[in-house]
Amino acid sequence: MKTVGYAAHSATTPLVPYHFERRNLRKNDVLIEILFSGICHSDLHTVKGDWGDQKYPLIPGHEIVGKVLEVGPEVKKYKVGDRVGVGCLVDSCQHCDQCEKHEEQYCRNGLTATYGSLDLIDKTVTQGGYSKHIVVREEFVVKVPVNLDLSKAAPILCAGITTYSPLKKWNIGKGSRVGVIGLGGLGHMGVKLAVAMGAEVTVISRSKDKVDYAKSLGAKDLLCTKDGEAMVKAANSFDFILDTVPVKHDFNTYTPLLDIDGSLVLVGQIGPMEEPLTFPLVFGRRRIAGSLIGGIKETQEVLDFCAEHGILPECEHIKPEQINEAWDKLLKENPAHRYVIDMKNLSV
């Protein structure tokens, strides 16, 4: 079908309106009218070629919510009018050990990302959610609970699942002492989710300016890394630290804050990092680990969890023609909220 989106035609040019064709529905496909699409730092990195060369034109966006317009003849879970979402992946092999464990993000044969990947069947480049419509196989569509505000739910499909997955994997719960580094789009969701799980949460930041905002999200306090005395006092005080910073930084600052058997988990910057100091790791049996997103089952789980606990991302809604402006702000400011594109005025 004919549709429209905002595409990059190179790594250095602004996104512009782009008319293109979505594939005809296969027997297990769902056609979705996109109502809201979140903006993620990954969109910028991918389009600008930071993580490898891309095939242009490319439409980014993997925080997608909308309604079902049509379903293929073998679709069983969804019907026309349903509120649905699509996250960071739209296909996988479905038969390797990781897919069978509902961890499609670690598919042994390679996941198919929502944009910038090759479709497993026709080998065309996948195009993302900065668009009016998307066609996705049923198994990679999730339900948006009726009590979640659709206009704010989109970032849960990336920022939400990216922070929820490691919190769950490391068994964060009542009594857990959790630090969250960074209070941007990922960090603020990490705070809200960890608090809802029962953890005692502290935001870790270079500045004290966000202390009131951190507490408004449910954090107990804010630890300023520039306060040497406070950092010494905070040694060994966390069981788990979630590192959401999207730019290169020195995580050796944070490992001494972990208690014995504590874990620092990276979900932010992907690329070269500072060389880790082994002393705090060896002498505290501490760990540095990484985490991607979650699988489809876990993505549904975080949506349901957010609905149950009344958790929504902090959002600033923009029009499609404001995308480039929002990207500039993301690069310069790392705002403590998610930009969400309202698609209602985007017409084919």
Domains and CATH numbers, the chain: 2-156+314-342 (3.90.180.10), 160-290 (3.40.50.720)
Cα–Cα distances in Å, from 174 out to 25, 187, 201?
A: 46, 20, 11
Q: How far apart are CA 183 and CA 11, in angstroms?
A: 27
- The full DSSP string for 112-170 is EESSSSB-TTT-PBP--SSBSEEEEEGGG-EE--TTS-HHHHGGGGTHHHHHHHHHHHT
Beta-strand pair 200-205/221-224? parallel
Q: How far apart are CA 211 and CA 62, in angstroms?
A: 30
pTM of the model: 0.95
Q: What's the pLDDT score for residue 52?
A: 87
Q: What's the pLDDT score for residue 147?
A: 95
- Cβ neighbors of 46 (< 8 A, separation 6 or more) are 54, 58, 60, 115, 116
In degrees and rounded to multiples of 5, residue 195 shows phi and psi of: -60, -45
Q: Which residues of the chain have pLDDT under 50?
A: none
Q: Which long-range contacts (CB under 8 A, 24 or more apart) does 211-220 make?
A: 213/183, 213/336, 214/183, 217/188, 217/191, 217/192, 218/191, 218/192, 219/180, 219/191, 219/195
Longest CA–CA span in the chain (Å) reads 64
Q: How far apart are CA 62 and CA 88, in angstroms?
A: 5
Q: How far apart are CA 296 and CA 86, in angstroms?
A: 9
Cα angle 37, 41, 45; round to 5: 115
Q: What's the pLDDT score for residue 159?
A: 96
Burial grade of 215 (CB within 10 A; 0-12, 13-18, 19 or more): middle
Contact 217, 241 (CB under 8 A): no
Token pair in block for residue 332: 């310069």
Q: Choose among 26, 27, 296, 299: nearest CA to 139.
A: 296
Cα angle 215, 168, 43; round to 5: 75
Rg of the chain taking only CA atoms, in angstroms? 20
| Residues 204-245: tens digit of each pLDDT | 999 899 999 999 999 999 999 999 999 999 999 999 999 999
For residue 288, the SS3 value is strand
Q: How far apart are CA 39 and CA 178, in angstroms?
A: 26
Cα–Cα distances in Å, from 83 out to 63, 187, 302, 318?
A: 14, 26, 16, 21
Q: What's the pLDDT score for residue 271?
A: 77
Q: How far apart are CA 280 and CA 153, in angstroms?
A: 39
Q: What's the pLDDT score for residue 319?
A: 97
Beta strands in 197-347 (DSSP E): 200-205, 221-224, 238-243, 258-266, 287-290, 315-318, 338-342
